[in-house]
A = this chain, B = another copy of it.
Amino acid sequence: MPKPVVISIDAMGGDHGPSVVVPALEIAAKTLPDVRFLLHGDEAALNAELARAPAARAVCTVVHTDKSIAMDEKPAQAMRRGKGSSLWNAVEAIRAGEAAACVSAGNTGALMAISKLILRMSADLERPAIVASWPTMKGVSAVLDVGANVESDAEQLVEFAIMGAAFHHAVHGSERPTVGLLNVGSEEQKGHEEVREAHRILQDSPHFDFDYRGFVEGTDIAYGTVDVVVTDGFTGNVALKTAEGLARFFGAEIKQTLTAGPLAMLGALIASGSLKKMKQRLDPGRVNGGPLLGLNGIVVKSHGGADANGFASAVRVAVDLARSDFTAEIDRNLKRLTAEKDQAAKDDGADGAETQGAAE
């Protein structure tokens, strides 16, 4: 029996609000056992949707607010004026102990700023990272950061490795995730200083709950060479969006190709079942749900434009994380990193002269 969990939902977030969120919860209620939802948003709008969603209605509690944060509101403004909004209340429910995790399709910057304000970062992490679940030839890989941190130093990249591995373990079920650092080649002298320094730290720390496999390249993401691909938020965001654009290009090309003439159309008709399955397998919405990692609490960001199936998978991610050992695993590995740094500093201090001599 899975343990019962309560998930707090920002029902007004995203491009579609309740008209997508409630049907998504209907799907979630039917497929995820023993989950209850706290629905933050406009009571009238939510009850109208819930009237058509019996499974969701049975497990939802509506918490009314008539305030919400606009998708284009600046994070600083949202922090100042967002108190009492559906997004704010959804996050606050975690801090108050009423929910184990929260899901929002709202404004990413606002969600990040408010989550950081209310929940605080765990250990001495600086900023949350966003992780993407990326379909690959072998299954699903975790790629992070995909946009929270425009520049990342070596230490942050190592933290991403720790958080990404814990996420992959919790949500995608790998026993001991393999981790790679994204670079422009696999040779040690390639890439910029941050990447090479992170490589040295990861290589010299064999006590993590994951297997560090060294540098990987862009092609390795789709190949599924490693379970976790670590990169800075700028590169990760560009890679993710480049792939999303290409996926849509392929979709359009397939459609056009298979309707180009009577023979192709006949072929497409016959093969349509298989093509549909393929489209589902590659659909980014199927693996929607990017948690903000590094917070004292589980906050999952859904795509703003996600449909009901997409939002439902973000909910599944939140439930998986809430039921896992996720936060403890991150803390454990961060402590190991700190312990090794302390030990290294101590060793340096104790026998610095000897080490210096041995280095030549």
Contacts and interface: CB of A to CB of B under 8 A. Distances in A.
Given A267-B267, A270-B270, A278-B254, A249 B137 contact: yes
Contacts of A220: 245
16 contacts: A137-B249, A150-B190, A150-B192, A218-B238, A219-B242, A221-B242, A243-B243, A250-B282, A253-B282, A257-B274, A257-B275, A263-B270, A264-B273, A264-B274, A266-B270, A270-B270
Given A239-B242, A271-B263, A271-B268, A234 B184 contact: yes
A238 B236 CA distance: 9
Contacts of A191: 150, 234
B235 A222 contact: no
Each complex incorporates copies of this chain amounting to: 2
A249 B223 CA distance: 7
Contacts of A282: 250, 253
Contact of A273 (B136, B245, B249, B263): B263
Contacts of A222: 242, 245-246, 248-249
| Dominant secondary structure at the A interface | helix
Nearest to A251: B250
Given A137-B249, A237-B184, A271 B258 contact: yes
Nearest to A231: B238
Interface of A: 136-137, 147, 150-151, 182, 184, 190-192, 217-223, 231, 233-235, 237-250, 252-254, 257-258, 260-261, 263-264, 266-275, 277-278, 281-282
A250 B278 CA distance: 9
A237 B223 contact: no
A237 B218 contact: yes
A126 to B, nearest CB: 16
Nearest to A219: B245
Given A234-B191, A274-B264, A247 B246 contact: yes
Ranked nearest first, the 5 interchain pairs of A and B with the lowest CB-CB distance are: A218-B241, A267-B271, A267-B270, A222-B245, A219-B245
Contacts of A241: 217-219
Nearest to A252: B137
A238 B184 contact: yes
